[in-house]
Amino acid sequence: MSIPMYKSKMHTFKKMTLGIDASQKYPLTREKLTPGLETINASPLSSPHWKDRNWRVRVLAVACVLFLYCLWLGYWPSWGYHGHHGHAKSSGHLAWEAGDPAQPECLYDNLRLRDTFMSELREMIDWPYPLDMYGATGRRAVMLQRIAPIAAKLDSECRTFPAQSMTERFEHALAHNYPFLHNLSITGAPTAWRKLKQRFEPNSRGIVITIDEENFRHATHLISNLRNVVKTDLPIQVAYAGIDSIGSKNLELLSEINPDIELLNLLSIFDDSYLSLDPTDSGALWVLKPFAVLASKFEHVVGLDPDVVLLQPPENLLNSSGYAWRGISVFQDGLVSNHDRAAFLEWTRFHKKAEPFFADMDKPWKSDSSPLIDGGMVAIDKSRFPVLLALLQACWLSMGGVRDQEMGRSKNLREEVWMAGPELVWTDYYMHQEFGTILKDDSLAEDEEGCGYKLAHVDDKGKLFWYGGGLSNPGEGKSMELLTPTRQIESGYWIKELANGGSNMICTNDTEAENKIGSDVTGVLQKLTNDARQLDRRYERYFSSARSSSPSSKTSSSLREVRSQSFG
């Protein structure tokens, strides 16, 4: 009974659909009929199953078209609306006025790059690093150094209105990284960075001397040295930290000795809340010097301590190949044992997260002794932005609250700002390869062989260039007497302090390197001594009342301060 019913149903089905004869040998099943149905139906969209999914497919198709259109505008922005009319002001991107033929095209990739850097700069402004994060501050400065040329280029290609330009935000971020740039007493510029930069006279060269009351006599000798002995024509700026640090009478005397010098009050430029100077600190000059070099109007600066004695014109340093190569020129003081030096090297490696640049400069770095830095005479090219960043970092290390944590703990570290500053911002610098040379006179006893009171430095040709400690005799009770060196000892390893009754002698175990000073240098030294004696007689009433200025308190003679202590 099931078979006839099956045939009857199949017959009816075939007749309704395909019109196939019922006498066909093999009955058609639904599976075999399905292809035929898809072929014969007039439109597949008439299927109820398709109508259920129709709206989803349409939405997906529209989304794909919009996605492809967005990609098209991204890679060919000049074909779209934004290529001709710019982005909307509310979009947060750069924009320019429609129809401005002078505005170059701002590519979409530049917009994204600008937004990325603007976010980085905003983070620097909103989240300044703590004062003890030396290396992080330096690495942030390295990032700023890389952003600087990009900011100028993007601002020239993509003009903003009314939003802040990338250059302005860069300058604000720089000021937040170095907060002593805030509250500068300079007018005429919208940002602190431009206020500082407008002080620099392009391609100018000059000398900056930092002084205080204790070193006033040395400063008068140095000015006479510059003008009357080595006869330099470079302009001179004398920097000091307020009237209280030197006295109004001394300032008048300086102008009387040399009317063409220019006085530079650093507290009239920088806020003392950042410098935190202590007028009673005999070693405060090391704090002033980086700020004095930064605030000076010269682009090429020779920074001098007041107790420096020059045997050659200072412009020889500016004309040297090392300075032209690096833009920073510093001198090595002498060699000390590495156990005294190890803490500072580790400090630099830790904060920089890499080996110091100076680690491979010479064999002593890898042996049992290492050099110190003598900051009595430095040369800085402020026209180079990496060098200027290194100077800013040196100022930051000398800033109150920073120096008290690390750099100010030891008098030896005070000189290291001229090396640590460039190191932390990854800026190359030139360090003279020759170590300090000991100078002595004939008055020393035989048991003091290999010792002297002065530490001199030579130029790249090996000729005596300058020495620290001034012309005065550092012997006990002889601060008003003048000392004329007659012999020199080419320093070797293991220069050390001879601790006999508080003596400030510098000694070396290489006594065979002692010889007489050349006649040409002897003539310069004799003229220096004669001029200094004339000044002392003329202004005796000023100098006799001054405090004793023994070299033990001078930053330019840091080797004399070496103790058997760690730098940590």
Tell me, letter by letter, the H, E, C secondary structure of 221-283: HHHHHHHHHCCCCCCEEEEECCHHHCCHHHHHHHHHHCCCCEEEEHHHCCCHHHHCCCCCCCC
Q: For residue 119, is it within any domain?
A: yes
Domain membership flag for residue 379: yes
Same domain membership, residue 157 and residue 12: no
Considering only residues 327 and 350, tell me which one the structure prediction assigns the higher pLDDT: 327
- Residue finishing a domain among 177, 207, 229: 177
- Asked if the model's pLDDT at residue 298 lies above 90, the reply is yes
Q: Which of the two residues, 294 and 139, has the higher pLDDT score?
A: 294
Output the pLDDT for position 103.
Answer: 43
pLDDT exceeds 90 at position 209: yes
- This prediction has a pTM of 0.73
Residues 225, 125, single domain; the answer is no
Last residue of a domain, one of 177, 203, 235: 177
Same domain assignment for residues 434 and 483? yes
Does any domain span residue 533? yes
Range of the domain at 245: 194-568
Higher pLDDT, 545 or 33: 545
* Res 516 pLDDT > 60: yes
Claim to verify: residue 257 and residue 158 sit in the same structural domain: no
SS3 of 328, please?
Answer: strand
- Joined tokens for residue 134: 């030396």
Q: Which of 68-77, 237-246, 477-486 bottoms out in mean pLDDT, i.e. has the lowest?
A: 68-77
Mean pLDDT, residues 253-267 taken together: 88
Residues 457-484: what's their mean pLDDT? Answer: 80
Largest distance between two CA atoms of the chain: 147
3-state secondary structure of 133: coil
Task: Give the whole-number percent of the chain exceeding pLDDT 70.
Answer: 60
How much is the average pLDDT of 485-501?
A: 60
Residue reference for tokens 């806020």: 271
More confident residue, 369 or 285: 285
In a domain, 95, yes or no: no
pLDDT of residue 563: 29
Question: Residue with structure tokens 């090391």?
Answer: 286
User: Considering the chain, what is the average pLDDT of its residues?
Assistant: 72
Which pLDDT score is estimated for 400? 78
pLDDT-derived band of residue 19, with 50, 70 and 90 as boundaries?
Answer: very low
* Statement to judge: residues 8 and 155 lie in one domain: no
pLDDT value, residue 162: 44
Which pLDDT belongs to residue 14? 45
Q: Which has the higher per-residue pLDDT, 494 or 299? A: 299
Among 233-237, 258-262, 360-364, whose mean pLDDT is lowest?
A: 360-364
Residues 163 and 269 in one domain: no
Q: Does 499 map to a domain?
A: yes
Q: How confident is the model at residue 108 (pLDDT cuts 50, 70, 90)?
A: low
pLDDT at 204 over 90: yes
Sign of the torsion angle spanned by Cα atoms 262, 264, 265, 268: positive
Asked if the model's pLDDT at residue 331 lies above 60, the reply is yes
Q: Examine the domain organization and report whether 443 and 568 are in the same domain.
A: yes
Same domain, 170 and 200: no
Region 319-329 average pLDDT: 94
Q: Tell me: pLDDT of 74 over 90.
A: no
Contact between 175 and 181 under an 8 Å Cβ cutoff? The reply is yes
87 found inside a domain: no
Sheet harboring 369-381: ordered strands across?
Answer: 262-265, 236-240, 201-210, 298-304, 369-381, 328-337, 430-431
Res 79: pLDDT: 39
Strands 487-490 and 514-516: antiparallel
478 occurs within a structural domain: yes
Residues 267-296: what's their mean pLDDT?
79
What pLDDT is stored for residue 147 in this prediction?
83
Q: How confident is the model at residue 329 (pLDDT cuts 50, 70, 90)?
A: very high
Do 265 and 149 share a structural domain? no
Residues 167 and 243 in one domain: no
- What is the arithmetic mean of pLDDT over 462-485? 78
Judgement on whether residues 391 and 322 belong to the same structural domain of the protein:
yes
Total tally of structural domains belonging to the chain: 3
More confident residue, 496 or 460: 460
Please check whether residues 145 and 210 belong to one and the same domain.
no
Give 118 or 312, the one with higher predicted confidence. 312
CA 495, distance to chain mean position in Å, is 31
Which residues fall within 8 angstroms of residue 457, CB to CB, at 6 or more apart? 331, 332, 374, 377, 432, 434, 436, 437, 464, 465, 466, 467
Residue 56 domain-assigned (yes or no): no
